[in-house]
Amino acid sequence: MKRPAIFFDRDNTLIVSEGYLGDADKVELVTGAADAVARARHLGFAVVVCSNQSGVARGLFSEDAVHAVNARIDDLLREGTASAVIDRHEFCPYHPEASIEAYRRDSELRKPKPGMILAAAQKLALDLSRSWVVGDAPRDIEAGKAAGCRTILVQDPNLNPSPAAGADSAVRPDHTVSSLPEAMEVIERDSLAGPADEAGAEEGAGAEEPQEQVVEEGSENRAAAPEVVTEPVAASEVPPAAPARPAEGASASIPTALLEAVAPATPPPQQTPPPQVRLDEVEAELGALRDVAEQILHEFRRRNEQLPQDFSVSKLLAGIVQVLVLAVLVVSYMYWQSPGTVQSLLLLALTLQALTIALLIMGKQT
Catalytic (active-site) positions: 9, 11
Give me the residues paired with residue 150 across strands.
132
The amino acid that residue 158 corresponds to is N
Q: What is the DSSP string of 315-340?
A: HHHHHHHHHHHHHHHHHHHHTTT-HH
Cα 34-39-42 angle, rounded to 5 deg:
130
Sign of the torsion angle spanned by Cα atoms 279, 283, 285, 289: positive
Identify which of 164, 135, 152 has the alpha carbon closest to the alpha carbon of residue 19: 164
Sign of the torsion angle spanned by Cα atoms 250, 251, 252, 258: positive
Gap between the Cα atoms of 134 and 132, Å rounded: 6
Identify which of 150, 169, 139, 142 has the alpha carbon closest to the alpha carbon of residue 54: 139
* Spatial CB neighbours of 298, under 8 Å, sequence gap ≥ 6: none
Q: What is the DSSP string of 239-308?
A: -TTTTT-TTTTHHHHS-HHHHHHHGGGSPPPPPPPPPPPPHHHHHHHHHHHHHHHHHHHHHHHHHHHS--
